[in-house]
Amino acid sequence: MYIQILKNYLLGYVRVTIEGYFIERLMNLCLKKGILLWKSNRKKSTLLETNVSIQDFKRMVKFAKQSKCKIKIKQKKGLPFLFHKYKKRKIFFFFLCLVVAGIVFLSNFVWNIEITGNVKIAREEILETLKQEGVNLGIPKSKIDTKTIIQKMRLDRDDLAWVGIEVKGTNVLVKIVEADKKPEIIPENEYCNIVATKAGKIVKVNALNGTPLVKEGDVIQQGTTLIGGWLEGKYTGLRYVHANGQVTAKVWYTTTKKIPLKQEVASKTQNKETKYSVRINNFTINFYKTLSKFQKYDTIEETKKWKLFSNLYLPIEIVQKTNQEIIEEQITYTTEQAKQKAIEEARKELEEQIKDKENISNTYINYQETEEYVEAQVTYEILEEIGTKEKIVF
C-alpha cells in the first residue's frame, strides 16, 4: 500500500474534486478497475476530494462521464510536475550538474589527514613519515594501500606499538598507539654489572648476586658501577656472574628561577578584530586589509576545513584571523612577592619532572637577592632506585 503511494509520488499524482450525485458509483467503478484512491474526503454530500495518480486520472475521466460526475483538478503534485516547473531553467540545471560532478570528482582524493593517539610523537613527524610512504593531501584515494603503509611505518619507527589507517570519505584517519622504549634485557646467562643511572647519595645497597662496590653514604656520579658482576673466593679465584640487586639512593632535583623585580607584562584588552580569508590549496583570497588597526597585538589563526558530511572534506579552507589588542604595563614586585613567585614557578617545573611525589624526603630552598632580580633555587630530595644492568664487555 505505502509502496504504491510512494510510486505514485514519484510518477506524479493529482488531487481532484468530484462533483455529482452518484459519487459512490464512480468510486465502486474505480475500485473494480483497480484505480487507487487515497486520502478521500467528503466535503459535502455532492462533493468528494481525493488523490489519484496521473495515469489513473485519464481512465477516471472516462468513468466520471459514465456516472455523470464532474472532475476538476485541484492540485498537481509529485516529481514530474516539479521537473516541469524547472524545465526552462537550463543554465541552473547545468550548473547544478557541474557542482555535483565536481563534488564527485573531488571526493576521489584525500583532503584531510587526522592523527589521533600521539602523545610524545609530534604530529608533523608522523605527517612526514606518511609523506614518504606517499600519503599526502591531494593524492587519489585509490593509490593508498593501507596494509603496506602500516607495515612500512612499523618497520621504520620502533616507538609505534600499533598503527591503524582508515580511509573514510576524503578523510584519512591515522590511529597510533605509542610504545614505551623497552630497557635492554640481558639474558640470565650473560655477565653484567649494576650501574647508577643518576648521581646521588647511597642509602641502601642490597646485593643479591655480585660484589657491592659502594657503601651507604657514598656520593656517586652517573655511570658509577654499584654492584660488580664478579665474585672472588679464596679458592675459586675470580669468577664472573650476572649481578643482581637493588640500590636505593637520595637523588637531588634542582631548578633555579630568576624573577626580575621590574617586569613588562602584556595584558589583553577588550578590543578584537576578526578577519576571514579563503584558502584553496595554497592560493589565498583575503577579504580584508592586511594592516591591523592596533599597534600591538596577538594574532590567532584558526583554519577550518570545509566539509560536506562528517567525513567528506573538500580542499577549501576558511582561515579566521583574530587580532587581540595588547597593552604592555610595567610592574614592579617587592622582593617578598618576587621570592614567592620564583618558588612557585620552580616547584611547578620540578613537579612535572618527578613521577612519584610520595618519595620526596626533603626540600631545600635557597635565595639570592640583588637590586634587579631575585633568584630562587629549589631542590627536592627523593629516594629512588638507581641501578640498571649493564653488560660487561671484555
Partner 1 sequence: MKRRKKKQNRIEEWLEIPKEISTQKPKLTTMGFEELFIENYKAILEYQDFYIRLSTHIGIININGFSLKLKEMTNDDLLVTGKIESIDFEKTVEE
Residues at the interface with partner 1 (CB under 8 A): 1, 4-5, 23-24, 27-28, 31-32, 34, 36-43, 45, 48, 50
User: Torsion angle, CA of 118/120/121/123, rounded to 10 degrees?
Assistant: 60
Cβ proximity to partner 1: between 50 and 248 the closer is 50
Closest CB 23 distance from partner 1, rounded Å: 7
CA atoms within 13 A on the CB side of 273: 13
Shortest CB 3 distance to partner 1, Å: 12
Of 67 and 112, the one with the shorter C-beta distance to partner 1 is 67
Enumerate residues 6+ apart whose C-beta is below 8 A from 253. Answer: 350, 353, 354, 379, 380, 382
Distance (Å) of CA 123 to CA 114, 116, 176: 9, 9, 11
Closest approach of Cβ 166 to partner 1, in Å? 46
Distance in angstroms (rounded) separating the CA atoms of residues 161 and 235 = 50
Whole-number minimum distance, CB 64 to partner 1, in Å?
16
Minimum CB distance to partner 1 smaller for 48 or for 247:
48
- What is the smallest separation between the CB atom of 49 and partner 1, expressed in angstroms? 9
Is the CB of 40 or the CB of 222 nearer to partner 1? 40
Give DSSP secondary structure letters for 71-130: EEEEEEESHHHHHHHTTT-HHHHHHHHHHHHHHHHHTTB--EEEEES-SSS-HHHHHHHH
Report the residue number, 42 or 72, with the smaller CB distance to partner 1. 42
Please report how close the Cβ of residue 38 comes to partner 1 at its closest, in angstroms. 5
Give the span between the Cα atoms of 363 and 381, in whole angstroms: 6
State the nearest-atom distance from the C-beta of 33 to partner 1, in Å: 9
Q: Residue 150: which of 180, 129, 123 has the closest Cα?
A: 129
34 or 140: CB nearest partner 1: 34
State the minimum distance, in angstroms, from the CB of residue 307 to partner 1.
42
Taking the least distance from each CB to partner 1, the nearer of 28 and 361 is 28
> Residue 342: which of 263, 265, 257, 260 has the closest Cα?
257
Q: Are 270 and 259 in contact (CB under 8 A)?
A: no
**How many whole angstroms separate alpha carbon 71 and alpha carbon 43?**
14
Burial environment of residue 52 by CB neighbours within 10 A (0 to 12, 13 to 18, 19 or more): buried
**Residue whose C-alpha cell is 578584530:** 273
For partner 1, give the closer residue by CB, 27 or 207: 27
